[in-house]
A and B are shown apart, each in its own frame.
Chain A
């Protein structure tokens, strides 16, 4: 029997359809995977990284750089663009040629796989992790003259952390050797990662060449969308203002911003009566998309819960108020539940049904429960704030 152990995306048999109307075209342009030629609002960062790598290549030395920033601030895209420009320059014989390899911590099953992947991308050789480490060690310590510089991009650096930190150590140790001609660019999310998780000898080798990508402001987000749309009239001006202000206030994540815009075009398309008419995406569509993305599913879940489940949540809050602690056992809550049922004139339920109600709420993570083996003695805590529950219960 054949086993397809490696999961993969099924291959496309049909050609992708060309965008038919203006909204579909806008959607294609706003897709996260269609990275534009030049990144707007990242000119300064681009310049810094470019000059760093270029100087290392021209001087034929090695070095490390640490790039940090919250998700969706364009770190990886900027580095890729830098490499693209450098390769273009190398092709034009403006700078010496160099070799670029990229590894991603997320794509590895084990931190030590980094050695295997680096070796494979450098030489095409396949080896076990230990053997690959030895081979790389030999390659980088060899004083023989290397012809070209290697630029190594390490994405998701924090996942390469091991207890002895030998992978990180080696990654930062190799560029410091003489004649290695290795430039390591590392990307991670937190700014203080070297200080938090790395031991001193690793952090010191990483050096102080750091760069942090600030989250986009609303003006920058607006500019990104505008540059992507490239003067295409699909959105109302106010709608774009709204989405960029909302996203900038929350996270400054460009990907999130693009997703919301694409969702808004879909909503606009559905609401339009005639599919061929040219309708602009307005404020109402954008509001709807924003609500879909940002509203808490907990409140909706509580609103849609059954009567007994809502009563149970109410009993939990009542019991917490009585105890003054944010934790109670199931039997304490159940006594409250029965009293509540009696007050509301409902038939009180059995303990088994009560446990079923409680465990259903626990399964959708409205409550935090202990293991069900404990029966009526399991402790109940809330996973949502009491205000959210009261708001949701009051609404209906």
Chain B
């Protein structure tokens, strides 16, 4: 850390504060500071910082800008649905709202550069100005000239300005086809297990000792580290389950130092949390309420994905069943399943070389409307007239996203569909109409 504290041009106290707020990022911060140089010096025109989610890219930039009080504009590319907003934010944070109001209604890049230069000549930069672009991968989808222009903005506006791009995607997937000014690449590596432990242990509960909390974090990482290294998610889990961990302590059953008993108590609970909380099946609030209620076992509540029961009209159910059969059965087996006098054909006769794998693994196949109706008439016992209501039920199944139309939207005569429901769902539906769907599925023959 001593290397970090000796950057010329910056206040040592502030650098100390930066170092305190950014644990385990000393190397990266040191690198950034040496790239930035002294405040009045010209910095490199553009820096590209990449790393996984929650590796501290935005946080490091935010703390550096705030603590060292550098002139900066932080722009999130998700918010900037049009470039106007981007230009406005940059001008606003550098020159105040007068400059931003100078922009015409639909400004081009040259408008922005013109106004920037004009403002800059009135108030030239005493320090390097920084534009921090978060989620920079969205810049690729905007106007093709925007990214190359931002990369050499220093040259265009003739001002001491540096553009810092933050992204989770590597630079190779950014490079425009016409070439551009190459930015400096800076990688933020993932936190190791030890570093995660160190960072998570920092925000401990005030009423318990530091060792106790660090034990808790250790147990938590032992369970979750193999599936999740995202700092934000782990922090969320740590906050959520801590009250359960402290329960035996509050009841006076164990002491703080009795690690083994605490572990015994929390471990099955965390295992369960992995199934429910991490996927947000049960919302965090519900989870906390459940922990309060002693009698109710965790996970007894039905999660979001358990609510797969949908009430459908009688014929819609059969239409959906027919669609499922059409999607997952090969068309040449229809005769065998749905005709009355087909004679005996064994499955081996049907098997072709490329059909060793199950159709359920390959996903649903598209089928024409005629086939759907043919299967529908054969699975429904009674006589059904092809009324408008049958056809409107098909199209409403499409709007409910239980079916998916794969052919073009305006095709009236031979539309094609796919069935978009799972096996459990269709089994549940066929049970309600007393139809044994497994008997009709080619995969389960």
Chain A interfacial positions (CB closer than 8 Å to B):
1, 352, 355-356, 359-360, 362-364, 369, 371-373, 375
Complex Cα gap A355–B171 (Å): 10
Q: What DSSP secondary structure best describes chain A's contact surface?
A: helix
Known: A359-B179, A362-B177, A363-B179. A1 touches B118 (CB 8 A): yes
Residue in B140, B173, B176, B179 whose CB lies within 8 Å of A375:
B173
B175 adjacent to chain A (CB < 8 Å): yes
Given known A1-B102, A1-B118, A373-B140, contact A364–B179 (CB-CB < 8 A): yes
| A352 B118 Cβ-Cβ under 8 A | no
Known: A363-B179, A369-B177, A371-B177. 11 other contacts (CB 8 A): A1-B102, A352-B170, A352-B171, A356-B172, A360-B179, A362-B177, A362-B179, A372-B173, A372-B174, A372-B175, A373-B140
* CB contact list, B169-215 vs A, under 8 A: 170-179
Name B108-131 residues within 8 Å CB distance of A: 118
Minimum C-beta distance from A83 to chain B (A): 39
* Contact A373–B179 (Cβ < 8 Å): no
Interface contact A375-B172, CB-CB below 8 Å: yes
Q: Which residues of chain B are within 8 angstroms of A352 by Cβ–Cβ distance? A: 170-172
| B side interface size, CB within 8 A | 13
Of B102, B118, B140, B175, the residue contacting A359 (CB under 8 A) is: B175
CA gap between A355 and B118 in the complex, in Å: 39
Determine the residue in chain B with the shortest Cβ distance to A375: B173
22 contacts between A and B (CB under 8 A): A1-B102, A1-B118, A352-B172, A355-B172, A356-B172, A356-B175, A359-B172, A359-B177, A359-B179, A360-B179, A362-B179, A363-B177, A363-B178, A363-B179, A364-B179, A371-B177, A372-B172, A372-B174, A372-B175, A372-B176, A375-B172, A375-B173
Complex Cα gap A352–B172 (Å): 7
Least CB distance from A301 to B in Å reads 13
Contacts of A1 in B (CB 8 A): 102, 118
Could you say which residues of chain A place their CB within 8 Å of the CB of B176?
372
Q: What residue of chain A has the Cβ atom nearest to residue B137's Cβ?
A: A373
Give min CB distance, B270 to chain A, whole Å: 37
- Residues in chain A near residue B118, CB distance under 8 A: 1
The chain B residue sitting closest to A370, CB to CB, is B177
B170 to chain A, nearest CB (A): 7
- Residues of B contacting A363 in the complex (Cβ-Cβ under 8 angstroms): 177-179
Kindly provide the distance from the CB of B189 to the nearest chain A CB, expressed in whole angstroms: 16
**Residue pair B102, A373 in contact (C-beta under 8 Å):** no
Least Cβ–Cβ distance between B110 and chain A, in angstroms: 10
Nearest Cβ in chain A — how far from B109, in angstroms? 15
CA distance in complex: A359, B176 (Å):
8
The distance from the CB of A109 to the nearest CB of chain B, in whole angstroms, is 16
What 1/0 flags go to B77-102 for Cβ under 8 Å of A?
00000000000000000000000001
- Distance in angstroms from B175 CB to nearest chain A CB is 5
Question: Quick one: closest B residue to A351, CB to CB?
Answer: B172
Which residues 121-179 of B sit at the A interface, judged by CB distance below 8 A? 140, 170-179
Q: Nearest chain-B residue to A373 (Cβ)?
A: B173
Residues of A within 8 A of B170 (CB): 352
Q: Which residue of A lies closest to B176 (CB)?
A: A372
**Cβ distance A309 to chain B, nearest Cβ, rounded Å:** 13
Residue of A nearest to B115 (CB): A1
B residues within 8 A CB of A375?
172-173
B118 to chain A, nearest CB (A): 7
Q: Which residues of B contact A372 (CB under 8 A)?
A: 172-177
Task: Give chain A nearest CB distance to B113 CB in angstroms.
Answer: 13
9 tightest A-B CB contacts, nearest first: A363-B179, A355-B172, A372-B175, A359-B175, A373-B173, A352-B172, A375-B173, A372-B173, A363-B178
What residues of chain A lie closer than 8 Å to B178, measured between beta carbons? 363
With a 10 A CB-CB cut-off, give which of B140, B177, B179 has the most chain A CB atoms.
B177
Q: Bound state CA distance, A359 and B182, in angstroms?
A: 12
With the chains together, A363 CA to B102 CA distance in Å? Answer: 36
Question: Within the assembled complex, what's the spacing in Å between the Cα atoms of A356 and B174?
Answer: 11
CB A346 to nearest CB in B, in angstroms, measures 21
Bound form: Cα–Cα A360–B182 in Å: 11
Q: Which of B26-59 contact A (CB under 8 A)?
A: none
Chain B neighbourhood of A359, CB < 8 A: 172, 175, 177, 179
Contacting residues, chain B, for A356 (C-beta < 8 A)? 172, 175
Residues of B close to A364: CB separation below 8 A:
179
- In the complex, the chain B residue whose C-beta lies closest to that of A354 is B172
Which residues of chain B have C-beta atoms less than 8 A from A362's C-beta? 177, 179
Interchain CA distance A363-B181 in the complex, whole Å? 12
Alpha-carbon distance between A356 and B178 when the two chains are bound, in angstroms = 13
| Residue numbers in A under 8 Å from B174 (CB-CB) | 372
B383 to chain A, nearest CB (A): 53
Min CB distance A176 to B, Å, is: 43
CA distance A1 to B121 in the complex (A): 14
Docked complex Cα distance between A350 and B102 (Å): 47
Closest to A371 in B: B177
